[in-house]
Structure formats: C-alpha cells, structure tokens
C-alpha cells in the first residue's frame, strides 16, 4: 500500500466514523503493514485533533512520563531503615513458644515487620547459631523503641531464658546520592 493510498483513505474518512471507512478500505486491498498502521494512526490523530492540539498532547504526555520516571529513579528515603538482627539457638522449646506468642504481634505496632525468620539457617562461614531472625523498622530509633518497649521487655525475658545467642540493632545501608 502506498502513502498516497493511505492519504486517500484518511481523506475519505468522515470525522464521525474514521475507523469504519478506513477498515472498509483495507478489507478491499492487501491489508496494511505495521508502518501503514502507524502512519494512518498519526494522520487520523492530526486530522481529527488538529496539529496544535496534537503537539500539546504529545508534549504534555512526554513531560508527564519524564517526571514520573525521574521521580521513581531519584526518590530515596533519606533515613536508613533500622534492623534488629537475632541469631540464636533454642534450648527450651516450650518457653520459646511462649516468647513467639508474646512477641509475634508487637513489631507492627512500632512500624516493624519480620523479613527473615529461619529456624535452620545454613552457615557458610564461622559458627553462627541455627536461628536467624531479622525485623525491619522505619528507622534505628523505631527499632530501639520496639526493643525497649514494656511489651517487648517482658517478651524478651522469655527469649533470653529459652535461647543462647545474640541480638543486634543496626541501620541499613543507604547509597550516596549520585
């Protein structure tokens, strides 16, 4: 299909029903290629929207996409997350179960969530204990508020009685702005 026949198809289309005439035209010929369809679509948009309206629409669309993409790429939380990392071995299963029941619902009250809890973590270096648990908080201050809260202070007594290991609170890594 030539450009001239596409132009004729666009010119023949009535403003109220552009697709009907265009599709009828293509049915009576060999059919459009992808290039023909792109060219036709652009011609129809320019014809029915007007060149100035189309330019404004394209410019606004490109600007909106650019700002959305830039926001996603550049958005960075300036406050590093806080993490409570526990590594221990369970010596008293019944007391540890009571700890889990007491401590389980507490982290979300301080903005935290458990992101790792593995009773049989695989050691690849050193001699860590078998249980690995990591809770993530919005900040180190939130992790410390959780750890020192009256509710968790009562629960951690059960954990300390049932396990042997360590607990660390640290901030997460925030890459430097480019």
> What digits encode the pLDDT tens for the residues 85-128?
999 999 999 999 999 999 999 999 999 999 999 999 999 999 99
Q: In the CATH scheme, what is the code of domain 82-171?
A: 3.30.70.100
| Top-confidence residue, 146 or 27 | 146
Is pLDDT of 136 > 60?
yes
Mean pLDDT of 75-79: 65
Structure tokens given for 48:
């029915």
Q: Model-level pTM? A: 0.57
Under 8 Å between Cβ of 47 and 10: yes
Q: Provide the sign of the torsion angle of the four alpha carbons 48, 54, 56, 60, taken in this order.
A: positive
User: If pLDDT is split at 50, 70 and 90, which confidence band does 14 have?
Assistant: very low
Task: Kindly report, residue by residue over 27-75, the tens digit of the pLDDT.
Answer: 445 566 666 655 556 665 556 666 566 566 556 555 555 545 455 544 5
Is pLDDT of 177 > 70?
yes
Confidence at residue 18, expressed as pLDDT on a 0 to 100 scale? 46
């Amino acid at each position: 299909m030539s450009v001239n026949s596409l132009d004729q198809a666009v010119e023949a289309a009535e403003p109220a029903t552009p697709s009907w005439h265009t599709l009828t035209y293509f049915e009576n010929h060999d059919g459009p290629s992808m290039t023909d369809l792109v060219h036709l679509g652009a011609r129809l948009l320019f014809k029915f929207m007007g060149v100035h309206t189309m330019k404004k629409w394209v410019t606004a669309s490109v600007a909106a996409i650019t700002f959305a993409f830039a926001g996603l790429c550049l958005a960075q939380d300036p406050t590093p997350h806080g993490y409570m990392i526990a590594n221990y071995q369970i010596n008293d299963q019944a007391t540890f179960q009571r700890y889990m029941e007491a401590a389980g619902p507490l982290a979300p009250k301080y903005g935290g969530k458990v992101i790792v809890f593995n009773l049989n973590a695989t050691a690849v270096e050193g001699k860590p204990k078998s249980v690995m648990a990591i809770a993530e908080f919005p900040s180190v201050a939130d992790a410390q508020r959780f750890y020192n809260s009256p509710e968790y202070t009562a629960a951690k007594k059960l954990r300390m009685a049932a396990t042997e290991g360590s607990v660390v609170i640290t901030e997460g890594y925030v890459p430097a702005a480019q």
